[in-house]
Amino acid sequence: MTSNKPHVVLLFGGQSPEHNVSCMSASYVYSAIPKDLYTVTLIGIDHSGTWHKCPLPSDSLDSDHSLEPLLISGPGITPHELFTSAAHNELIVFPVLHGPNGEDGTIQGLLESFGVPYVGSGVLSSALCMDKIKSKELLSAHGIPQVPWVSFHARDLDSAVEAVEQSTLHFPLFVKPANMGSSIGVSKILSSTDLDGAIASARKYDEWIIIEEFSPGREIEVAVLETGVVAISKPGEIVPGADFYDYADKYEDGATLHIPAELSDAEIEAVQSLTADVFTLMRCRSLARIDFFYDSEGAGWLVNEINTMPGFTPISMYPKLWQESGVSYQELIVQLLESAIKQ
């Protein structure tokens, strides 16, 4: 830690079920950081929550391009040891963590307490966007269009079927844990007879459950990059290879991506304007990917969800959208790091 170069601490792994996704994303981020401009320390968080200072990988990572082997081999270190020893350097933390205990404001609050700059949204925004129920409540309060939905706590499971039947929801429905990403714990159901099993699946990951009505609209995603000014990408479209855009589609190259999406200039302007409104409303910072449904014959643009730390694998929509706009993967990473320093 004697270099005058800015010092990047790359956090990855974590206790979330999205642990493996984080390892994949972080490996590509690490490879893209120009080592002539930045000093990099890899900190892996294992499934138990222990932090490990990991050895730097060789030029070629393991066959699945994951940092997991490094995570489990590094010595343990506390956040206090890490951040106090690096205090004399220009320090930036890139928390490439997905899901609970990483993307939900917990790590962000820890970093705030140490006063270190970091890539991504702050505590409030991270927590709001991670919680599908609270984000939908806030969006609803501001008149942002969404699919119809209901939510409930695990203690009210006995009345869940009745609540769905008494609502205006129409099958098919999606049953989801409120705080989870990567489509983990998500089920698509065609009738109330499938409801109990779907709730049990979602309940494995969260005590709060949300049930959403299926949208026949196209799945459109838009990337946001804030580096002093807010830049919004052209929209991209996802055509799922499965019944819906599930985990395998997202990380095993099953879906087809159309970048840019085939939309008229007026449609692009509308979704970019709505993206900017949502980004500001949710107090996002640095980066986000905002997901929509678009039904040109019916409901129009509907906000699905906001992701404050989207995937960074080569097939992830966020970096691919910026590549279409002329921002390479490495340029994207550098812009995010420089923006964190300025903030």
Q: How confident is the model over 221-241, as pLDDT tens digits? A: 999 999 989 999 999 999 876
* pLDDT tens figures, 243-278: 554 445 445 556 788 999 999 999 999 999 999 999
* pLDDT tens figures, 175-225: 999 888 667 889 899 888 888 888 888 888 889 999 999 999 999 999 999
Paired strand residues for 142? none
pLDDT recorded at residue 9: 96
- 149-213 falls under which CATH superfamily? ATP-grasp fold, A domain (3.30.1490.20)
Reported as a pLDDT band with limits 50, 70 and 90, residue 59 is low
pTM metric for this prediction: 0.89
pLDDT recorded at residue 211: 92
Give the neighbor-by-neighbor strand order of the sheet with 7-13: 51-54, 39-45, 7-13, 91-95
pLDDT at 117 over 90: yes
What is the residue whose two structure tokens read 């499971």?
Answer: 157
Per-domain residue ranges for the chain?
A: 7-118, 129-144+216-342, 149-213
* Cβ neighbours of 113 (radius 10 Å): 10
End-to-end CA, the chain = 23
Reported as a pLDDT band with limits 50, 70 and 90, residue 70 is confident
DSSP string, 157-176: GGGHHHHHHHSS--SSEEEE
Is the peptide bond between 260 and the residue preceding it cis, with omega within 30 degrees of 0? yes
pLDDT recorded at residue 246: 46
pLDDT recorded at residue 61: 52
pLDDT at 21 over 60: yes
pLDDT recorded at residue 252: 55
Which one has a higher pLDDT value, 59 or 314?
314
pLDDT recorded at residue 154: 78
Spatial distance between the Cα atoms of 248 and 240, rounded to a whole number of angstroms: 10
Across the chain, the runs of DSSP E, i.e. the strands, are: 7-13, 39-45, 51-54, 91-95, 149-153, 173-177, 187-189, 208-213, 218-226, 230-232, 236-239, 256-258, 287-295, 300-307
Percent of the chain with pLDDT over 70: 90
**What would the mean pLDDT of 114-136 be, rounded to a whole number?**
95
pLDDT recorded at residue 3: 63
pLDDT at 78 over 70: yes
Percent of the chain with pLDDT over 90: 62
pLDDT recorded at residue 109: 96
- Main-chain phi, psi angles of 93, to 5 degrees: -105, 130
Look at 12-26, 63-77, 126-140 and tell me which has the smallest mean pLDDT: 63-77
CATH of 7-118, one of 3.40.50.20, 3.30.360.10, 3.90.78.10, 3.40.50.920: 3.40.50.20
* pLDDT tens figures, 275-313: 999 999 999 999 999 999 999 888 899 999 999 999 998
**What would the mean pLDDT of 37-52 be, rounded to a whole number?**
94
pLDDT at 323 over 90: yes
pLDDT recorded at residue 167: 73
pLDDT recorded at residue 155: 80
- 129-144+216-342 falls under which CATH superfamily? ATP-grasp fold, B domain (3.30.470.20)
**What would the mean pLDDT of 134-153 be, rounded to a whole number?**
94
Mean pLDDT of the chain: 88
pLDDT recorded at residue 89: 62
